[in-house]
Structure 1
Amino acid sequence: MTPNEELCVSLLGRYDQGKVRRANWESGWNDVAAYVLPRKRDTVRQPSSAAVNGPASAPVRFDTTATNAVRVCAGGLLSSLTPAGELWFRFNPSNPGVSSAVKSWLDDCTHRAAEALTASNFYLSIHECLLDLSAFSLEGLFIEEGLAFQGAERGELLNFVQVPVGTFTIEEDAEQRVDTVFRTFFWSARQCAQKWGEERLSKEMREALASKDPAAQTRQFEIVQAIYPRRTGEFVSGPAIPDKRPVASVYIDVASRHIIENGGFYEMPVAVARLLREDNMIYGTGPADEVMPEVRMVNAMRRSFLLALEQQSNPQWLGPNDGSWRPDNRPGGIIYWDTSDSKNKPERLRDTARLDFIDPAIADSRQIIRQAWFNDMFQMLNRPEVLEQKMTAFQVAEMTQEKLLLFSPMFARITRELLTPALTRVFNVLLRREVFEPVPEDVNLGELSYQIDYVSRIALAIRQAQTGALAQTAQMLGAMAQFDPLAAHVIKWPKAGIMVARNAGVPAEIIRDEDELAAIQQEQQQAQRAAQLAQMAGAANQAAGAVQKLGPDAQRAATDAIGGAS
């Protein structure tokens, strides 16, 4: 076999093994698709052909509480974590002691990146990702350069593709970070030719492209994209051709086992996030796994409630087994019966079901489901006074403190596995394509170190927990300082002030670092000493003038007194 054939067989084998491992989660995903997001049912089932999801139909669903709860959760994440039209992240220097030029440059990069995200399809794709993350506890987001960088007359700088759950497999590195993704999708030969060119297509694809048969023209080919890190020696550092870059990207036509493209990226282009990860649960876990029994139960109770309600509104008829009458359920209808025997008179079956017992039980289960998806927290975060910024982040944190404590592990994983990789990819793409201003002259691009700080409502509310602890400690230390002034020096107040400013989302370029604060303190101390010396000199001059006004005898007496005192 040729090297390409060996690579193709190896990658497809890894993909097949990934699907075997993923099978443990597919039954749970099918339950979520059936009871929570019915429109995802065909995608999760991993069809063998390019089946297109039609209108959501789920005959087993009698209650939509879980569906609504997931949509509230996804919408709450979008508006509270990545709000469109607001600056919800900042590129800040990792070392606060860098020059102001670097801080200003990173601040400009922040605004340019935010504009690029707004102009792209980021907010459309991220909402779908957050829906998957809320429901299935798993999502995939593919970030690529937009058509504007590919010579198109119209297009954006960035393009984001939501990778549906059930269409990809993942592998982790030694630190449990997703570094390998196999994703599958279905394209026609025409679509493949538009992306890669006709010369790169397989024989079957070229035949379908040249055919005049509508069935051949619209035939969907299964494409697998393998994204994985290349080994040392297989790539070069710095600028390189696609197949020599650190992250490999190989597109394969599965039917013909043909490699369409063997390229690569400078950084991981796919951000795969798990809402929670426990033990060896590589595909993650989340609220759906915990409350699926409640979802099933409220669905069954709702079905029973509807049946009982219908039973009461239209109960069955009781009649003799040899009767010939026909019930007429129309309003004002007439029912004829044999009057020769009063026992033959038809009557309704009396239903003794207690519907008042069912309703509270359903309400309790619904509340459990909504709480599992943090609906109450997101509804508080989306109150008008919060949206209009009439409440401070500290007030929001106090209002939602209990819920934030439960949500913070999920927030940490969302930022670590979804937002930070995505924004890092965006930063690098825009930097390479010179969308940013030139790097300051005194900065070595290879040594440039930055961090991503999140300044959305929920991010600031979580960080305000630290500020609240500091405020409480400061209050207690103030009381202790009345007994021992040394207590006031327990905390490094300048450093604490910097932390408070950062937690409040203040831009790094207007926050002084510790060196600047130390210099200001030194200047103040020098000015204070100079003022004291000037005051002492003035007092000495006044004393000398007073002595000169005395007579000779008084001057000698004053001199003797000073000498005696010394």
Structure 2
Amino acid sequence: MNADQICKTLSTLKSLRNPHEQVWRDCFDHTYPMRGNGFYNEMMDAQEALNRKARILDGTTTDSARTLSSSVQSGLTPANSLWFGMDVAKATEDERRWLDESAKIIWENIHASNFDAAAFEGVLDVVCAGWCALYIDSDRERGGYTFDLWPISGVYCSASAPGGKIDTVYRSYKLTAEQAVNEFGEGNVSENTRKLSKDKPQELVEFVHAIYPRTTYVVGGRLAKNMPIASCKVEVEAKKLVSESGYHEMPVVVPRWMMIPDSVYATGPVAEALPDARTLNEMVRMDLAAADLAIAGMWIAEDDGVLNPRTVKVGPRKIIVANSVDSMKPLQSGSNFNYSDSRITRLQGAIRKTMMADQLQAQDGPAMTATEVHVRVNLIRQLLGPVYGRLQTEYLQPLIERCFGIAMRAGILGQPPESLAAGRPYTVRYLSPLARAQKLEEVSAIDQYVTGCAMAAEVQAKTGQQPDAMDNVDLDAAARFRGEALGVPNDVMRNKADVERIREDRAKAQQAALEQEQQAAMQQSVAQAALKQAPGAAA
């Protein structure tokens, strides 16, 4: 597309997104106003952010959003344990070893970068607004990865297929004239920007970064213009293309929480709790006003010629002159603090329940038993399971694909086996706590099944029957599935070939021992027979 087409598309995308912006703005207003910067008429400075934060009179919604975001972050991409692996169909030992080592290298480089900080803020955006935009690229100065969380106020999205993943992203942003010239070069920016860079270098100039799939491209192309994902940067006012390049994979990850019907955008759990959050804020405001009356008091005074209610001031160690002691009396405010307290408590509980903070947060009290832990993990799995499926597809999968592609082209993964170099597709195996939690029910079912079969075999043996109930269980398959579901490292679990070799060696050793015993018994028999036949043997 040329610059004019990109600017027209940007205008269309803005009009399509506009109806949803008020909801996102309200969600940020009740949680993290600073993260909504750009959705307001003017850019938010520090003072405006403090003013908007001061309007939040109860922090329940903010705390619940932070709790849920932390739980999702630690459940999806924990920094302290490997949360994904890679597999290919019918992998050999060399292939599995290379894939496991590659996954570990990628994981280490992801968390050695700024991923954890950027990803947490991205999850905050997902919880509050329902979506975020995380840009992934290689760090050309220091090596490794770099993650840039784009403010969603300037991001506009589209999908090529109805209901499909977002594959077209337009980002509207501003650079100073000096920054624009340094980034794109004097010959690529407009004449007006060149003049501004000399006369007013700090003057802001608007640009749009358009990322979209190319309809025609060269498979395996090395030139940026031949890559499957196009990247064009346009100076908006001048409608001038200042840069054109490309990517091998989609560089922007756009996960979504709950889709808005007939739209590519989404809303988050804060939108579901928004009615209660608004009511709670208003209830707390009225409660504070009533508390002010209860503390400072409210008075009625009669203008009796001596007492002038318009000038009298009530305070400690003050003498109020009046014609009668009845000229001034305190009034009851009529506030019902019991009702307001119970109402506020119910609203706080409803918000925490809607945003799952009441279950995700560590519970007070004594340490839980193993059964209680298991029940709680199952509950968390049920709460976050449906959301995890979407995040796995729209967040983790493209993130790993992008990071794998960057690492592979950089040569840090080493030379893959020839069988993999032929382009065999690989699949991602998720090992995060949430992924393991989804399989805990199957692990429990396997344990119960194996235990039940073992008890049935024991009963068979006691009743004189053939104890063959365990013939229904493939113990090797059960052990492998259980280890994979629990996230046991592959270095700990032996593969099938190693297990077969160990069993063959054990069988050979047992056979050798048996033959040795038989040979010893035969030699002993021969010796005893020789003794009997020897002259002088006892009659």
CA distance in 1, matches of 2:365, 2:100: 30
Shift in alpha-carbon separation, 1:31–1:126, aligned structure 2, 3 A: same
Give the C-alpha shift of residue 7 in structure 1.
Answer: 2.4
Give the C-alpha shift of residue 534 in structure 1.
Answer: 6.7
The one of 162, 180, 184 aligned to 1:196: 184
CA distance in 1, matches of 2:235, 2:329: 69
The one of 84, 89, 94 aligned to 2:88: 94
CA distance in 2, matches of 1:286, 1:408: 15
Deviations 1:467-517 (A, max 9, x none): 223222222232333456444233432122112112222223543344554
Matching residue of 1:431: 408
Aligned pair 1:476/2:452, yes or no?
Answer: yes
Matching residue of 2:150: 163
Matching residue of 1:310: 292
Q: Partner amino acid for 2:11?
A: D
Shift in alpha-carbon separation, 1:220–1:385, aligned structure 2, 3 A: farther
Matching residue of 1:246: 228
Q: Partner amino acid for 1:166?
A: S
Give the C-alpha shift of residue 281 in structure 1.
Answer: 4.9
Shift in alpha-carbon separation, 1:77–1:381, aligned structure 2, 3 A: farther
Matching residue of 2:463: none
Q: Partner amino acid for 2:70?
A: G
Deviations 1:409-438 (A, max 9, x none): 2223223222332222122112211223x2
TM-score, normalised with respect to structure 1: 0.82
Give the C-alpha shift of residue 328 in structure 1.
Answer: 2.0
- Asked whether the 8 Å contact 2:158–2:167 carries over to 1, the reply is yes
Aligned pair 1:411/2:388, yes or no?
Answer: yes
Deviations 1:120-149 (A, max 9, x none): 22222112101111111211100112132x
Give the C-alpha shift of residue 280 in structure 1.
Answer: 3.8
Q: Partner amino acid for 1:488?
A: M
Secondary structure at the residue paired with 1:400? helix
Matching residue of 1:492: 474
Give the C-alpha shift of residue 529 in structure 1.
Answer: 6.3
Secondary structure at the residue paired with 1:43? coil
Matching residue of 1:151: none
Q: Partner amino acid for 1:282?
A: V
The one of 399, 406, 423 aligned to 1:422: 399
Secondary structure at the residue paired with 2:157? strand
CA distance in 2, matches of 1:384, 1:199: 69
Matching residue of 2:312: 327
Q: Partner amino acid for 1:359?
A: D
- Asked whether the 8 Å contact 1:317–1:327 carries over to 2, the reply is no
Give the C-alpha shift of residue 518 in structure 1.
Answer: 4.8
More moved, 312-321 vs 218-227? 312-321
Deviations 1:72-127 (A, max 9, x none): 2223333443334x23324333346322x433333433343334233322222112
Matching residue of 2:130: 137
Query: Which runs of 5 or more structure 1 residues have no equivalent in the other structure?
Result: 1-5, 149-154, 552-566
Shift in alpha-carbon separation, 1:469–1:25, aligned structure 2, 3 A: farther
- Asked whether the 8 Å contact 1:243–1:264 carries over to 2, the reply is yes
- Asked whether the 8 Å contact 1:249–1:263 carries over to 2, the reply is yes
CA distance in 2, matches of 1:217, 1:324: 64
- Asked whether the 8 Å contact 2:177–2:193 carries over to 1, the reply is yes
TM-score, normalised with respect to structure 2: 0.86
Q: Partner amino acid for 2:384?
A: F
The one of 2, 14, 35 aligned to 1:19: 14
- In the TM superposition, what are the counterparts of 1:162-241 in structure 2 within 5 Å? 162-174=149-161, 176-211=164-199, 216-231=200-215, 234-241=216-223
CA distance in 2, matches of 1:398, 1:70: 23
CA distance in 2, matches of 1:26, 1:313: 41
CA distance in 2, matches of 1:226, 1:200: 17
CA distance in 1, matches of 2:105, 2:331: 72
CA distance in 2, matches of 1:444, 1:78: 32
Q: Partner amino acid for 1:146?
A: D
Aligned pair 1:338/2:323, yes or no?
Answer: yes
CA distance in 2, matches of 1:278, 1:488: 51
Aligned pair 1:273/2:255, yes or no?
Answer: yes
Shift in alpha-carbon separation, 1:400–1:493, aligned structure 2, 3 A: same
Q: How many residues align?
A: 522
The one of 27, 33, 50 aligned to 1:38: 33
CA distance in 1, matches of 2:378, 2:270: 23
Secondary structure at the residue paired with 1:380? coil
CA distance in 1, matches of 2:268, 2:193: 41
Secondary structure at the residue paired with 1:240? coil
Matching residue of 1:501: 483
Matching residue of 2:63: 68
Matching residue of 2:440: 464
CA distance in 2, matches of 1:172, 1:92: 27
Q: Partner amino acid for 1:447?
A: G
Shift in alpha-carbon separation, 1:486–1:461, aligned structure 2, 3 A: same
More moved, 22-31 vs 324-333? 324-333
Deviations 1:195-240 (A, max 9, x none): 22222212222121122xxxx3222122111111111xx2111142
- Asked whether the 8 Å contact 2:172–2:207 carries over to 1, the reply is yes
Alignment root-mean-square deviation, CA: 3.3
CA distance in 2, matches of 1:31, 1:206: 40
Give the C-alpha shift of residue 263 in structure 1.
Answer: 1.0
The one of 120, 123, 127 aligned to 1:127: 120
Give the C-alpha shift of residue 464 in structure 1.
Answer: 2.9
CA distance in 1, matches of 2:322, 2:82: 75
Deviations 1:424-457 (A, max 9, x none): 2122112211223x22454442435444444444
CA distance in 2, matches of 1:224, 1:381: 47
Q: Partner amino acid for 1:210?
A: K
Give the percent of matched residue pairs that are identical in Structure 1 and Structure 2.
23
More moved, 241-250 vs 306-315? 306-315
Shift in alpha-carbon separation, 1:168–1:547, aligned structure 2, 3 A: same
- Asked whether the 8 Å contact 2:76–2:83 carries over to 1, the reply is no
CA distance in 1, matches of 2:443, 2:18: 45
More moved, 476-485 vs 527-536? 527-536
Secondary structure at the residue paired with 1:166? helix
CA distance in 1, matches of 2:257, 2:528: 82
Shift in alpha-carbon separation, 1:478–1:56, aligned structure 2, 3 A: farther
Secondary structure at the residue paired with 1:199? coil
CA distance in 2, matches of 1:242, 1:249: 9
Aligned pair 1:118/2:103, yes or no?
Answer: no
The one of 11, 16, 24 aligned to 1:29: 24
Shift in alpha-carbon separation, 1:382–1:496, aligned structure 2, 3 A: farther
Query: Which runs of 5 or more structure 2 residues have no equivalent in the other structure?
Result: 461-466, 534-539
Shift in alpha-carbon separation, 1:406–1:335, aligned structure 2, 3 A: same
